């Protein structure tokens, strides 16, 4: 009986380890699997295009990532190149982004639910950081930050809230980021919490943030 219980426990542990090992973009089982965007079949990712119909353009995009972008109201612009722009990225588990920052601009706190990010500063200076998860003390919600200069590299672990801020009031900054998913996703914290559709109840948010309901009511239309 004890032996049977031990075997069952081992089987459960192996299953958990195997699940964790595959909890990311699926590995390719052939040289490539160019996404067939016109297929009616729905899978986790995209169905493969007929290899006989694949050409070099399926792996190419004239993205002009060397050109500056106009920034948004928080002072940043993210130009993401993922599987939706290059169909050949399907199953390859990678994407890239150019990020432009206006003086004092920021890429506000956000998370990528499906990817780790590695960021390289091309121009200017960035103040960056991320916050750990709700793990046991003393590492619960630990804030790790760094000032980056041109040529510096920083890693944001998958799923953790992170940001970048340009502290220079006079000069813009530029960075390139690689992400470990063909479709990393992005959840901007302020937009998700205060700008959801339909809105989250102000009773819920007031309790969560320990503020008055009128503060929430003021924030929701703004975001």
CA distances, 86 to each of 91, 134, 184 (Å) = 12, 36, 14
Q: Would you call 109 exposed, middle or buried from its count of C-beta atoms within 10 A (0-12, 13-18, 19+)?
A: middle
170 known ligand binder: no
Q: How far apart are CA 202 and CA 208, in angstroms?
A: 10
Which tokens is 117 given? 């990010």
Hey, is 132 helix, strand or coil? coil
Q: How far apart are CA 100 and CA 170, in angstroms?
A: 14
Q: How far apart are CA 48 and CA 28, in angstroms?
A: 11
Annotated binding-site ranges for Mn(2+): 110, 112, 117, 162
Annotated binding-site ranges for oxalate: 107, 112, 117
Annotated binding-site ranges: 107, 110, 112, 117, 162
């Amino acid at each position: 009986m004890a032996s049977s219980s031990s075997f069952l426990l081992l089987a459960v542990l192996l299953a958990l380890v195997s699940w964790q090992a595959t909890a990311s973009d699926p590995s390719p089982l052939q040289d490539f699997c160019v996404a067939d965007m016109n297929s009616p079949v729905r899978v986790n990712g995209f169905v493969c295009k007929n290899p006989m119909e694949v050409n070099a353009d399926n792996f190419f995009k004239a993205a002009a990532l060397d050109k500056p972008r106009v920034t948004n109201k928080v002072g940043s612009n993210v130009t993401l190149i993922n599987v939706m722009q290059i169909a050949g990225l399907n199953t390859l588990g990678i994407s890239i982004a150019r990020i432009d920052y206006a003086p004092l601009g920021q890429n506000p706190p956000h998370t990528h639910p499906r990817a780790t990010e590695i960021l390289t500063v091309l121009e200017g200076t960035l103040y960056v950081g991320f916050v750990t998860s709700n793990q046991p003390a003393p590492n619960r919600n630990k804030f790790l930050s760094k000032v980056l200069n041109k040529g510096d590299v920083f890693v944001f672990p998958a799923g953790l809230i992170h940001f970048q801020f340009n502290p220079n009031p006079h000069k813009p900054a530029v960075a390139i980021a690689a992400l470990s998913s063909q479709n990393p996703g992005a959840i901007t914290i302020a937009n998700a919490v205060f700008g959801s559709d339909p809105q989250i109840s102000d009773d819920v948010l007031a309790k969560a943030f320990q503020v008055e309901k009128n503060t929430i009511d003021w924030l929701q239309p703004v975001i």
